[in-house]
Amino acid sequence: MDALSSLLAQHGLTLVFANVLLAQLGVPLPAVPLLVVAGALVAEGTLQLLPLAVVVVVASLLGDTPWYLAGRRYGYGILRTLCRISIEPDSCVKQTENIFTRWGPPSLIVAKYVPGFSTVAPPLAGTMRVGFGAFFLYSAIAATLWAALPVAGGYVLRNEVERLLAWLESMGTGAAVIVVAVVLAYVAIKATERYLLIRFLRMVRVSVDDLRTMIDEGQGPVILDVRSPLAREAEPRRIPGAISVQLEEVEPLLTQVPPDRDVVVYCS
Integer Cα distance of 207 and 197 in angstroms: 17
Question: pLDDT tens digit string along 57-114?
Answer: 999 999 899 989 988 888 777 776 666 655 555 556 666 677 777 777 888 887 777 7
Of the candidates 55, 65, 67, the one whose C-alpha atom is nearest the C-alpha of residue 136 is 65
Q: Which CATH superfamily is domain 208-266 in?
A: Rhodanese-like domain (3.40.250.10)
Residues 6+ apart with CB under 8 A from 233: none
Helix (H, G, I), strand (E, B) or coil at 115: coil
Hey, where are the domains in the chain? 2-172, 208-266
The pTM assigned to this predicted structure is 0.63
- Asked if pLDDT for residue 21 goes beyond 60, the answer is yes
- Asked if pLDDT for residue 122 goes beyond 70, the answer is yes
Helix (H, G, I), strand (E, B) or coil at 135: helix
Average pLDDT, the chain: 78
Q: Residue 5: pLDDT band by 50, 70, 90 thresholds?
A: low
Q: What is the DSSP letter of 90?
A: T
Burial 229-249 (b: 16+ CB within 10 A, else e): ebbeebeeeeeeebeeeeeee
Per the model's pLDDT, the better-predicted residue between 246 and 62 turns out to be 62
